Amino acid sequence: MKRVFFALMLALAPSLPAADETPAQNPVWMMVAFEVASYDTWRAAFDSDLSLRRDAGELSFEINRFPRFPNQIIAIFKWDSAERAQAFISDPALHASMKAGGVVSKPTITFHEEP
């Protein structure tokens, strides 16, 4: 019975990376709060950049608005690493896209790790 249990545990255990593989970095959550001139204009620009964000390491996102202030945005992103998220938000192309999309306030950006 013990051998069957041990064999089952080995079969179900996650595989370890090979010695030459680089372990994956921990995902990070990035929260960005800002104001836009028009939600619809901003959302169209944001949606058109999906492939750029995914190529840069975005894993998922969630957009939140306040009912009484629909142009106040809180965007929450899951990124594959803090380094790649930092690189993305430092990219001048992102700043140009945000301006073109109607972002009218300086974004407040915070990073959060998964527990």
pLDDT single digits (tens) 69-91: 999 999 999 999 999 999 999 99
pLDDT above 90 (res 25):
no
Q: Which residues contact 18 (CB under 8 A, 6 or more apart)?
A: none
The whole-angstrom separation of Cα 11 and Cα 45 is 47
Would you give the DSSP letter of residue 106?
Answer: P
Q: Which CATH architecture has domain 32-113?
A: 2-Layer Sandwich (3.30)
pLDDT above 60 (res 20):
no
Q: Note the pLDDT of residue 4.
A: 34
Split at pLDDT 50, 70, 90, the class of 113 is confident
Q: Note the pLDDT of residue 11.
A: 37
Q: Where are the domains of the chain?
A: 32-113
The whole-angstrom separation of Cα 5 and Cα 114 is 32
Split at pLDDT 50, 70, 90, the class of 114 is confident
Q: Note the pLDDT of residue 10.
A: 33
